[in-house]
Amino acid sequence: MIGFLVVDKEAGWTSHDVVARCRRILGERRVGHAGTLDPGATGVLVLGVGPATRLLRYVSGADKAYRAEVVLGTTTSTGDDDGEVLETFEMAGVTLAEVAGAAAVLTGEIDQRVPMVSAVKVGGQRLHRLARQGVEVPRPVRRVRIDRFEVAEGSDPGTFAIEVTCSAGTYVRTLATDLGAALGGGAHLRRLRRVRAGRFTESEAKRVAEIEEAVGSGAEVLRAPLEALELPRVVVPGDACPEVRHGRPLEGPGSGAPSTGPFAVLDPDGRLLAVYEAAPDRRSSRACVVLAPG
């Protein structure tokens, strides 16, 4: 069993909950996810199944897209509506034009401080575990890229609907709190939904119950590994396939391979064999992940 499963995660589930449930449904121990979603968030969660778990590093680094609402006037301990209210601000007069202007400033490459409620490790401990103990520690600042930050009127007074397209590793909760601060007050996030992860969109995602029903009826639920990879592709001749299947170095990077970074290696029939990258001297390519064992 090998491939990717595109799940529409429901609110209240942790990403680990989804992985554990899908392991049972598929009868496969090797299942992992590409990019955590908060328990309160919904939307696209991509799972690698079987040997495809070794490709998750290439999927987790793909761009993401989100929908959510920003609530002006209050900050919370978690940056979203699951946390306790920390401060309140009078922001009833803030207009859509002002919010859009602040969002424009937060578009492009920006620095974000990792929130305390996150899975990042500091000093060997996950920040969210320290946060639950009431401990706050200095957190790293990361450079992220916001490609799109659109704002519209929200469903309630003082709320604004947002659509964000961003690089992997972006915290949309932090984006909401930064937006509130830029407007001279505070804000938090609610109703976060991931609508795209790399090549996979919410229209392709299925809830866990739907996946269980499909598997029970014998339907195919896995997507081919190659569908998930946004990598350059190199087709090797048939006589080179045994070398690739054994993960041996290939002479030269291959036609169409990038000068740096990984690329997918396919057989003449278009099947994914492995992921390689060019050696520093560009005289050969070496295997990063081999899917077709010798």
| Domain residue limits, the chain | 3-62+199-226, 66-189, 231-290
Q: What is the pLDDT of residue 178?
A: 94
CB burial string 241-256: b at 16+ within 10 A, e below = bebbbebeebeebbee
DSSP 223: B
Contacts 24+ apart (CB under 8 A), 119-128: 119/36
User: Between the CA of residue 234 and those of 3, 161, 192, 229, 241, what are the distances in Å?
Assistant: 20, 42, 38, 13, 12
Our measurement of the distance from residue 235's CA atom to the centroid of its chain's CA atoms, rounded to an integer in Å, reads 28
Give the Cα separation of 42 and 28 in Å (integer). Answer: 24
Give the Cα separation of 259 and 25 in Å (integer). Answer: 41
Cα-based angle 147, 170, 113 (whole degrees, multiple of 5): 120
Per the CB < 8 A criterion, the answer to whether 120 and 113 are in contact is no
DSSP 82: T
Per the CB < 8 A criterion, the answer to whether 264 and 270 are in contact is no
What pTM does this model have? Answer: 0.87
Q: Which CATH superfamily is domain 231-290 in?
A: PUA domain (2.30.130.10)
Give the Cα separation of 172 and 69 in Å (integer). Answer: 10
Same fold, 3-62+199-226 and 66-189: yes
DSSP 3-state of 212: helix
pLDDT values of the chain reduced to their tens digit, one per residue, 294 residues: 889 999 999 999 999 999 999 999 999 999 999 888 888 899 999 999 999 999 998 888 889 999 999 999 999 988 888 888 999 999 999 999 999 999 999 999 999 877 656 565 655 666 556 556 565 666 678 899 999 999 999 989 999 999 999 999 899 999 999 999 999 999 999 999 999 999 999 999 999 999 999 999 999 999 988 888 888 888 988 888 888 888 888 876 655 566 667 889 999 988 899 998 887 766 778 888 898 654
Nearest to 71 by CA among 162, 203, 207, 168: 162
Per the CB < 8 A criterion, the answer to whether 233 and 267 are in contact is no
Say if domain 66-189 classifies as CATH 3.30.2350.10.
Answer: yes
Residues acting as catalytic residues? 38
Q: What is the pLDDT of residue 9?
A: 96
The one-letter amino acid code at 20 reads A
Say if domain 3-62+199-226 classifies as CATH 3.30.2350.10.
Answer: yes
